[in-house]
Amino acid sequence: MGKDILLKDIYKQFITGNEKVQALRDVTLEIKDGEFFTMLGPSGCGKTTLLRCIAGLETPDRGEIAFGTDILFSASPPRVVPPHKRGIGMVFQSYAIWPHMNVYENVAYPLKYGEQKKFSKKEIREKVMASISRVHMETMADRPATQLSGGQQQRVALARALVNDPQVILLDEPLVNLDAKLREEMRIELRELLHGLGTTVVYVTHDQTESLTMSDRIAVLLEGNIVQVGNPSDIYNCPGTEFVADFIGTTNLLSGRVEQGPAAQKVVQTRIGPICCEGLEALAEHEEVKLVIRPEDIQLSRQGEMNQANTLQGVIKNLEFLGDAYTVFVKVGEEILRVKAPSSGRYVANETVRVEFPAKRCCILGSYSNQA
């Protein structure tokens, strides 16, 4: 039977000078055994503090942390299991590679100097080479750390975290120091390697692309609180709050009121007109709501009937060329909508266009059921 990570009412406060900073505000969370779980949010939201609490590098002021039935931290009754006894491997943002050691020595360090079981030289070599091979660095075992690139240092840090076969791997912004192209390459490598191990992974990032492409589930944090938990599709397509909608990708947010439309069908009456979308039947008439629709879900064209549901007329105010696509800013009524359109469309400023909102791609803000 697997061991889930259970966090209950984790509260952590820091005091800097005369100021008290609430880093975590009674966070409760369950991370399932074997899943790739990402904690996502802006700088200062508490995600790294929460990761460090799991690792044992920070001690919460109150709450409880359990690994299956094993209590790692409890405020009452008091219990704190030290970091080296938690069965956890960690990759830091800075990688923390020893500059005076080569690759082999860096990876072997936890086996030689840790407080766990003592290994023979043969066992150490077998474990180290196996871990180095996992990250495709076996030909660089003797290379000095000072001669490693950023991507190679990241691999060494990961090999060192894996050398003890931990049940949980914690990664704190491991790709943030890499350039964009290498970050993309390492994202793919990391995802394949860590998913293949079947180890529980807790990953911290502020990068939305990393979280969406790598995770089984995502927790979005803001000001020490978890505001939404879900799989990447739920988080992106059905955001629970304005912050989540705006932080994860680009979106269009329309305010409106639920009204009775034609053929006894409910619609959202907005400043640009009535919009049909799914999930309105459960809402009360005249209820104030906010409608979310992503730029790539809006269909742009030059012709077609204007009396169809969710079809409106607009004028292009501006365009941004993105290479394979344009971000088109279309004025519809008093609203400016962002639309992602293929570059082959060759749209121009001040052109009148037809804008269509597929009802299945329109989401009522907060309609997602948050299961933290």
Lowest mean pLDDT among 168-177, 222-231, 258-267, 288-297: 258-267
DSSP string computed for 235-295 = HHHS-SSHHHHHHSS--EEEEEEEEE-GGG-EEEEETTEEE--TTGGGSPTT-EEEEEE-G
Cβ contact 128:108 at 8 Å:
yes
Report the 10 Å Cβ neighbour count for 340.
Answer: 17
Which spans in 57-149 are helix H? 103-113, 121-134
**Range of weakest confidence among 85-89, 123-127, 259-263, 298-302:** 259-263
Instruction: Inform me whether the pLDDT recorded for 227 exceeds 70.
Output: yes
DSSP assignment of 27-53, as one string?
Answer: EEEEE-TT-EEEEE--TTSSHHHHHHH
Task: Please tell me the least confidently modeled range out of 2-6, 95-99, 118-122, 302-306.
Answer: 302-306
Question: Which is more confident, 317 or 153?
Answer: 317
Comparing 68-77, 101-110, 210-219, 258-267, the range with the smallest average pLDDT is 258-267
Where residue 9 falls among pLDDT bands split at 50, 70, 90?
very high
Who's near 116: CB < 8 A, 6+ residues apart?
Answer: 84, 110, 164
Confidence of residue 120 (pLDDT cuts 50, 70, 90): confident
Q: Residue ranges per domain, the chain?
A: 5-240, 250-302+309-364
Q: What pairs with residue 364 in β-bridges?
A: 291
The pLDDT value recorded for residue 114 is: 63
Which pLDDT value is given to residue 2? 61
Nearest CA-CA partner of 28 in 8, 5, 12? 8
Domain 250-302+309-364 grouped into CATH 2.40.50.140 = yes
Q: At what angle do helices 103-113 and 150-162 cross, to 10 degrees?
A: 30
Tokens of 225: 């609180």
Q: What is the mean pLDDT of residues 332-360?
A: 92
Handedness of CA 303, 306, 312, 317 (dihedral sign): positive
Opening angle at CA 74, ends 73 and 76, nearest 5: 165
> Which one is the CATH code of 5-240: 3.40.50.1220, 3.40.50.300, 3.30.230.20, 3.40.50.150?
3.40.50.300
Distance between terminal CA atoms of the chain?
22
